[in-house]
Amino acid sequence: MSCNKSIGCSVKPCKWHSKGEDYCTLDKINVGTHESNPKQKECTDCNSFQLGM
């Protein structure tokens, strides 16, 4: 898979991580939150994450 240089990613266990570089291989990602009123970046989640093999 080729990396998308518009989406940086350092989550190496993700199925969509480019493995060779810290980028995502998806064309777009879905970002969500687990908080009702997020105020910090730690409150956001990459909802496109899938555990890789």
Model confidence at 53: pLDDT above 80: no
Q: pLDDT, tens digit, for every residue of 12-26?
A: 999 999 999 999 999
According to DSSP, the β-strands at 44-46 and 23-24 are unpaired
Task: Report DSSP state, residue 46.
Answer: E
- Domain parsing of the chain, residue ranges: 1-27+46-53
Half-sphere exposure for 24 (CA within 13 Å, toward CB) = 16
Model confidence at 11: pLDDT above 90: yes
Model confidence at 48: pLDDT above 90: yes
Would you state the torsion angle of the CA atoms of residues 21, 25, 28, 30, taken in this order, to the nearest 10 degrees?
A: -80
Residue 1: which pLDDT band, with cuts at 50, 70 and 90? confident
